[in-house]
Amino acid sequence: MINKIIRNIILFIVLVLFQEMVLNQLQFSVYFNPTIYVFFILILPFETPNWLLLVLAFVLGMSVDIFSNTLGLTILASVFIAFCRPGILSIISPRQEYEPGLQPTIRDLGFGWFLTYAGVLIFIHHTLLFFLEAFTFDHFAFTISKVLVSSLASLAFCVVLQFLVFKPKK
C-alpha cells in the first residue's frame, strides 16, 4: 500500500516536470499541445474515493498551472475530468463490477477498453482547456482542430506510458 502511494507520488512529480520541461518546450506547432499529466488521473486505482480523486486532480492542475502561468485553467479542466471519471467508468464497465485490485490499465482491462476510457476523458479535458483558454467561439474551427490533434497526441503518449509504468503480467 505504502509502496503504491510512493510510486504514485513519484509518477506525479515526473509527469508534471516532463510536461513542463519537455512537452511545453517542444513548440512543434500551434495545434500540437499534448497533456501528459492527465495520465495520473486516468490510472488511479478503482477504489480511490471520489473526494480524493478531486483533491488530487486539483493539486495536479495547480502544479501544472504554476509552471505555465495560467492559474485556474488546468485546475478546472482536470478537476472536471476527475468528476466525470466515476460516471464514465460505470458507463463503459466491461462487466457489472470492477474486480477489486484491478487498475484502469491496458494490462488489466484490455486495449480497446482503455482507448475508449482514456479517449473520452482526454477529449473532454482538451475541449475545456482550449475553449476556456481562447474564451471565445470566434475561431471555432481552429480551436476544435487543436483539440482533436492534441487529444490524439495525448492519447498516444498515455498508451506508450502504460507500457513503461505497468510491466506486463507473466
Furthest-apart CA atoms within the chain: distance in Å: 52
- The contact set with another protein (CB under 8 A) reads 17, 20-21, 24-25, 27-30, 32-33, 66-71, 130, 133-135, 139, 142
DSSP letter assigned to residue 94: S
Burial of 114 (0-12, 13-18, 19+ CB in 10 A): buried
**Least spacing, CB of residue 8 vs another protein, in Å:** 21
Nearer to another protein, 108 or 133 (CB): 133
Nearer to another protein, 19 or 162 (CB): 19
**Least spacing, CB of residue 67 vs another protein, in Å:** 5
Nearer to another protein, 32 or 46 (CB): 32
Q: Which of 151, 119, 20 is nearest to 12 (CA)?
A: 20
**Least spacing, CB of residue 10 vs another protein, in Å:** 17
Nearer to another protein, 66 or 92 (CB): 66
**Least spacing, CB of residue 120 vs another protein, in Å:** 24
Cell matching residue 112:
480497446
Q: Which residue has the cell 480511490?
A: 48
Contacts of 37 (CB under 8 A, 6+ apart): 15, 16, 19, 60, 64, 78
